[in-house]
Structure 1
Amino acid sequence: MATIAEKIQSGFELARQINEAVWMDGRDSQQLSVDELCDYVGQEFSVNITIQVLDVETKAVLGFIMRYEEGRRACVYIVKNTPIRWKRLVGVKELCHVVVDTEEDFNPNGVDTLQRMMSLVADMDAIENLALRSEHIAEMVALELIYPHEDRRAHMDAIGRGEATFADIGTRYRLPEIIIQMILTPAYLAMCDKYWRAVDEARRAKVVALRAAANEG
């Protein structure tokens, strides 16, 4: 079983691939609508995905994904009264479950997952916490798709100089201001730096191995 660190690195690599593919298609991933990303993910991962809005009043749950037919079909549910910027983040995050989850991450007991999300969890790699771990990883990958990592240090500098605010950046990337504040904390920036370095190192090692194999052939 993969550890949470291995799963995050794998998720960041998948985010890199999606961002690169979308960019090569002449589009900016941060400007993709949730519907467009849904079509892309569904095609790339061979899953028939639909999105439905739930006409309910709740603040406890903003959205969730349900899988059917052994994962070949999925439906993303988003609560109707969710604020527009949260709605976009929730939609992308739920689609990221299709991207990063494996069977071990599935949990048919959504209530259990919610309860674990509201409690302190010591071991994210414990079997009983895999669905919760999946929630954290899907959110991290979603943020890498919506708000490119390479822009963040410059934004921190601009904020430090008084040339930008968290609200300005939230407007640009259509994210809640509180999420921008979290992403730009030193601890979160350092964590993402670490995983992106690991992704780059793994890619370089793969290229070296492929060249060595070609030379031997």
Structure 2
Amino acid sequence: MSDKLLKLFDAFYQAKRVNHYYWMHTDGDEAGGKVSIENLQWIIQTLTGFVIEKKTVKVKSDFHRAFVERHEEGKVNKIWVMEGEHITWQRFATVKEMCHLLVDQTGDHQPDPCQTIDSLKNGSGLFDDFSVPEADSERLAEIIATELIYPLEYRKPDRDKVREGASTIDQIAELRGVPSKYISLGISDTWIAVCETIWKSLKDVDPANLNEHL
């Protein structure tokens, strides 16, 4: 298995751990079926040992919806979210930045956002022969954020509702608190099949609980 595939599977395993502990150690979702960002944050903080603070910026950027500032060698992190974005995008962008803290490896983080944007605009990314670490990091964080904020167990029934005409992409986006873009991606047959294959191949969560941290 290539290094990039190993990285992908490891990132999914981290998502599996977060999902497992989310249901074991928190009160779960918000009322109505939205994944709780606060509970995800608590689990990721506990797993990584990092401090994570969320802040809003009263501007709207043409280049990004959120970004993370890393301090004290990554031990203290501030996630800045653009307040002008729709709430579904604020939620997704926050989780995506937390996923960087969860799955980034040494050398993945690029402190210069312009270089990351240039790499993404040039088409390089996960599994490309000439991709650079910061572009891989962005796409991997996007994938894992989707898995956390819109879990597979929600996507399959939502897909069936759309097929039956019982709901629409936009209605599900509102229900789940997830941008329509990622609802469409998440309920596609191809992506569901890929994710099911990966999830089934992952080892059991270890340790089974986080009691020693509580």
Tell me, in whole angstroms, the C-alpha distance in 2 between the residues paired with 1:32 and 1:183. 15
1:124-163 to 2 correspondence within 5 Å?
A: 124=127, 129-163=132-166
Please tell me whether Structure 1 or Structure 2 has the larger radius of gyration of its CA atoms. 1
Note if 1:118 corresponds to 2:121: yes
Q: Which residue of 1 aligns with 2:103?
A: 100
Deviations, residues 67-90 of structure 1 (Å, cap 9, x unaligned): 121111111111121111000000
Note if 1:186 corresponds to 2:169: no
The answer on whether the counterparts of 2:18 and 2:40 sit within 8 Å (CA) in structure 1 is no
Q: Which residue of 1 aligns with 2:172?
A: 169
1:19-98 to 2 correspondence within 5 Å?
A: 19-29=19-29, 31-98=34-101
Q: Which sections of structure 1, spanning at least 5 residues, go unmatched?
A: 207-217
Change (3 A) 1:26 1:71: closer
The offset of 1:203, in angstroms, is: 3.8
Tell me, in whole angstroms, the C-alpha distance in 1 between the residues paired with 2:189 and 2:131. 30
Q: Which residue of 1 aligns with 2:10?
A: 10
Residue 105 of structure 1: SS of its match in structure 2? coil
Tell me, in whole angstroms, the C-alpha distance in 2 between the residues paired with 1:33 and 1:172. 13
What is the aligned length?
202
- Relative to its length, the structure with more helix (as a share) is 1
Tell me, in whole angstroms, the C-alpha distance in 1 between the residues paired with 2:83 and 2:168. 29
Share of identical aligned residues, percent? 25
Change (3 A) 1:128 1:161: closer
Deviations, residues 92-145 of structure 1 (Å, cap 9, x unaligned): 110111111122211122211011112212774768611111111111111111
The offset of 1:185, in angstroms, is: 2.1
The answer on whether the counterparts of 1:41 and 1:95 sit within 8 Å (CA) in structure 2 is yes
Q: Which residue of 2 aligns with 1:213?
A: none
Change (3 A) 1:156 1:39: closer
Deviations, residues 13-62 of structure 1 (Å, cap 9, x unaligned): 11111111121125225645434432332232111221121222323211
Residue 104 of structure 1: SS of its match in structure 2? coil
The answer on whether the counterparts of 1:63 and 1:79 sit within 8 Å (CA) in structure 2 is yes
Deviations, residues 151-207 of structure 1 (Å, cap 9, x unaligned): 3223222221212221222122111222211222233223212321221xx449x9x
Residue 39 of structure 1: SS of its match in structure 2? helix
The AA in structure 2 aligned to 1:12 is: F
Tell me, in whole angstroms, the C-alpha distance in 1 between the residues paired with 2:46 and 2:157. 34
Q: Which sections of structure 2, spanning at least 5 residues, go unmatched?
A: 207-214
What's the TM-score once normalised by structure 2's chain length?
0.83
What's the TM-score once normalised by structure 1's chain length?
0.82
Residue 122 of structure 2: SS of its match in structure 1? coil
